[in-house]
Copies of this chain bind each other. A is one copy, B any other.
Amino acid sequence: MRYGGIEAGGTKWVCAVAEQPGQPLEIVRFPTTAPAETVARAARFFTEQGPIDVLGVGAFGPVDIHRDSPTWGTITTTPKPGWGDTDLTGALTSALGVPIALDTDVNAAALGEWRWGAATGLDTFFYITVGTGIGGGAVTGGRILHGLLHPEFGHMRIPHDRARDPFDGICPYHGDCLEGLASGESIRRRWGRPGPELSDPAVWELEAEYLALALVNVICMLSPQRIIIGGGVAKQSALLPLARRRVRELLAGYLRAPELTDPDAAEGYIVVPRLGDRAGVIGAIQLAYEAQEAAASSSGLSGRAGG
């Protein structure tokens, strides 16, 4: 079997092929441009690499991931220009003609880290990406969390102290939701330059504040055994130590667990992805692999064009 995987992010796509899960043979990255162009570029990569049998896709959202829905595989209300109501899996099926297993990009990354990275052996954890946008995926009780739609972690509401940060936030739907205040794009627009060019400690203290408020809410709602934070913004070396400290301060000893009260234990609690930038695409391959394995024992996998 040859597996294909696509981390179909809102900023970039990462494509890979593999013959074994966890071991991508070839990886390519390119920017997310218009839908048809981006899909064509992915299709060209897979064609060049030789045929694949099954494709796993982790897509940016909101995306319809309910297999029995008539709009399965469609990216719906994204503010990303040109991508609203895009039939992603339809386009990929037309281009590649293989069955597709689909989840969100962050759920795919969570799956990658669960099987091969920083979350192996855990039962309940949360994966966050803080990049151009903010997203989150979860495994709870040993299963990827779906529910009514799928988590849209970036759009939670957190306290916004306008005396400290008068910036209105950039989310076109919600203004100062988490993504509106703390995404890489919000950093760029608040401070006038992208994060990697900003060394003022106030920038990263504010970012850590918002991130810590969001993490406290994850902890209060999901009680994860670990939190993994990926994405470009999380690469700022100052950020995670500041965020860990603020989480501890904000929880104020109310929840008794070394992970939440002891600075050393917190270093193993709020962590970066062990798979780094490859978490999403390795997770996408894993989606393909696990769907194929499920299909081998029943008939759980079928492409829109028939699997």
Contact (Cβ within 8 A) B221 A218: yes
Q: How many copies does the complex hold?
A: 2
Interface residues of A in 207-231 (CB under 8 A from B): 213, 216-225
A136 / chain B contacts, CB cutoff of 8 Å = 221
Contact (Cβ within 8 A) A223 B147: yes
A152 / chain B contacts, CB cutoff of 8 Å = 219-220, 223, 254-255
Contact (Cβ within 8 A) B156 A216: yes
A154 to B216: give the CA distance in the assembly, Å: 11
Contact (Cβ within 8 A) A223 B146: yes
Interface residues of A in 114-156 (CB under 8 A from B): 123-124, 136, 138, 140-156
Contact (Cβ within 8 A) A221 B77: no
A148 / chain B contacts, CB cutoff of 8 Å = 124, 219, 223-225, 257, 259-260
Asked if A250 CB lies within 8 Å of chain B CBs, one says: yes
Majority secondary structure of chain A interface residues (helix, strand, loop or mixed): loop
Question: Known contacts A157-B159, A216-B156, A256-B77: does B145 contact A143 (CB below 8 Å)?
Answer: no
A97 / chain B contacts, CB cutoff of 8 Å = none
A207 to B301: give the CA distance in the assembly, Å: 46
Of the residues B76, B140, B155, B173, contact of A143 by C-beta under 8 Å: B140
Q: Interface size for chain A: under 10, 10 to 19, 20 to 34, or 35 or more residues?
A: 35 or more
Q: Closest CB-CB distance, A230 to chain B, in whole Å?
A: 17
Q: Closest CB-CB distance, A108 to chain B, in whole Å?
A: 16
Question: Known contacts A157-B158, A220-B152: does B141 contact A62 (CB below 8 Å)?
Answer: no
A295 / chain B contacts, CB cutoff of 8 Å = none
Contact (Cβ within 8 A) A253 B151: no
A138 to B217: give the CA distance in the assembly, Å: 15
Asked if A203 CB lies within 8 Å of chain B CBs, one says: no
Interface residues of A in 166-204 (CB under 8 A from B): 173-174
Asked if A160 CB lies within 8 Å of chain B CBs, one says: yes
Q: Closest CB-CB distance, A56 to chain B, in whole Å?
A: 19
Of the residues B156, B217, B223, contact of A150 by C-beta under 8 Å: B223
Asked if A305 CB lies within 8 Å of chain B CBs, one says: no
A146 to B138: give the CA distance in the assembly, Å: 13
* 11 more CB-based (< 8 A) A-B contacts, given A140-B141, A221-B221: A124-B148, A138-B140, A141-B142, A142-B143, A147-B224, A155-B251, A155-B254, A156-B217, A156-B220, A157-B159, A218-B221
